[in-house]
Amino acid sequence: MALALQTFSTVKDANAALKAAGTRYLGGGTLAVRAANEGDVSVSSFIRSTEPSLSAITVSGGKVRIGASVTMAAIARHPDLSSLSHAAHAVGGPAIRNMATVGGNLFAPAPYGDFTVALLALDATLSTDGGDLPIETFLVKRESIHAIVTAVGFSLPAEGSFRFLKVSRIKPKGISVLSIAAVLEQAPDGTVSSARIALGCMADRPMRATATEKALLGRILTSHGIAPALAVANDGTAPITDPLASAWYRNEVLPVHLGRLLLA
């Protein structure tokens, strides 16, 4: 079967087409078209939808909704999303950012998926035609999801509360050794009142650092204050081993980088 592209003006019709065998949804194509180029013949039909809402960003009342087709470049330059621009900018080089979509990033296997790490820390909700689902639920079962994700939604983090760090070997653009996203809120006395921390490359998909989150509560962000949190940074991690680094290395340096991010 030769390869073909089918374009639908609505998500509904595209979802219907995706029921056929050999189909795959096409976001920006930076992973999907590559796979076809490299001889993955399991896909014979790319399906895409041009429904305008897929490409829209809306920010109102502290709520953000990003259509699944929105690119990393569009997020990085959006004036109301400046706190996230760093995370969007962390994906690929300029051309990749002009193509890579939020929807595709959600499905990208480690070491990819840097923006999804940010979305996990932001506790995003994913929309599909069949209803919404929390990002954590989505990540657990993403292989079995064939429906189109239409958008991601989350609350805009409070000023200064979102932190993001990507560690890579190549500058300024390299894929991740690991990435860390954190939404940290502090009480007036400087103690951490809430923490949501997500890690990339520390498992085959983005994961929460729940032990670290707990250990941070009530602590101040000094090297002494965060020490207990760093001590449990590796709880539950099962890092990938790839050409960049072994699981051992990722585990070794996670507390180092996490510490630097927390103290930054």
Partner 1 sequence: MAIRRGRGVAAINYPTGMNLGGDPTQALVHSTPTGNFMVTLSSVDLGQGMKQIMAQICAETIGVPTDRVVVDTADTDTGPHCMGTFASRGTHRAGNAVIQAAREARQVMLEVAAEELEVNASDLETDGQGNILVKGAPQKSISIFDVALSAHFKRGRSISGRGMFLIPRSYPEKETGAMKPSTCYAHACTVAEVEVDDETGEVTVLTVKNVFEIGRALNPKMVEQQLVGGSWMGISHALYETTEPYYPNRDHGGTDFNQYLMPGPGDLAQTEIIVLERPSADGPYGAKGPGEMCANPQIPAVANAVFDAVGVRIDTLPITPERILRALKAQASN
Partner 2 sequence: MAKVSVQFTLNGAEKAEFIDSGTTLLHALRDKIGDTSPKGGCHQGTCGACSVIIDGELRLSCLTLAETCSGAAITTTSGLSEGGVLHPLQRAFLDAFATQCGFCTPGMIMAAKVLLDHTPNPSRDEVVEALSGNICRCTGYEPIIQAVLTAARSNSQNAARGESKKMELRKSYFADQRKDDLHEIGQPRPRSDSPGHVTGKTAYFADRNFPGMLHLKMVRSPHHHARILSIDISEAEKHPGVVKILTAKDVPHNVYTILILIQIGPEDETVLADGKVRWKGEAVVAVLAETERAAQEAAAKVKVDYEVLPAVFDMEEALKPGAPIVNEYHGRNYYLYDSGECRKVRFGDVEAGFASADHVLEQTYQSSPIEHAPTETTGCIVAPEGNDRFTCYTNTQAMFFTLDNASIILQMPGNRLHFVGGTVGGGFGGKVDVIVEPIAILGAKLTGRPVSFIYSRAEEMQISSPRAAEKVVIKDGVMKDGRIVARKVTGYTDAGAYSRHSPYGAQKGAGHYPGPYTIPNVWIDTYCVYTNRTPSSAMRGFGVTIGDFALEVQMDKLARLIGMDPLEFRFINAYRDGDMKAHRQPTEGAALIECMQEASRAANWPVAEKFMAMSSYAKGA
| Nearest residue to 207 via CA among 174, 240, 159 | 240
Q: Is the previous residue joined to 239 through a cis bond, with omega within 30 degrees of 0?
A: no
**Does the protein bind partner 2 through residue 75 (CB under 8 A)?**
no
67 binds, among partner 2, ligand FAD, partner 1, none (CB under 5 to 8 A by kind): none
Question: Under rule CB under 8 A, which residues in 207-236 are in contact with partner 1?
Answer: none
Name the residue type at position 190. G
**Does the protein bind ligand FAD through residue 67 (CB under 6 A)?**
no
Helices (H), 90-200: 94-99, 102-107, 114-121, 135-140
| Residue 159: count of CB within 10 angstroms of its CB | 7
**Does the protein bind ligand FAD through residue 28 (CB under 6 A)?**
yes
**Does the protein bind ligand FAD through residue 113 (CB under 6 A)?**
yes
- In the complex, the smallest distance separating the C-beta of residue 163 from partner 2, rounded to whole angstroms, is 21
Using alpha carbons, list the distances in angstroms from residue 177 to 61, 83, 97, 115, 244. Answer: 36, 22, 19, 14, 6
**Does the protein bind partner 1 through residue 249 (CB under 8 A)?**
yes
Cα 196 to chain center, whole Å? 14
- In the complex, the smallest distance separating the C-beta of residue 90 from ligand FAD, rounded to whole angstroms, is 6
Beta carbons of 152 and 127 less than 8 angstroms apart? yes
Q: Which position among 114, 120, 234, 257 is part of the footprint of ligand FAD (CB under 6 A)?
A: 114
245 binds, among partner 1, partner 2, ligand FAD, none (CB under 5 to 8 A by kind): partner 1
**Does the protein bind ligand FAD through residue 24 (CB under 6 A)?**
yes
Tokens read off for 141: 């079962």
Binding site residues, ligand FAD, CB under 6 A: 24-32, 68, 91-92, 96, 99-101, 103-105, 107-108, 112-115, 148-149, 175
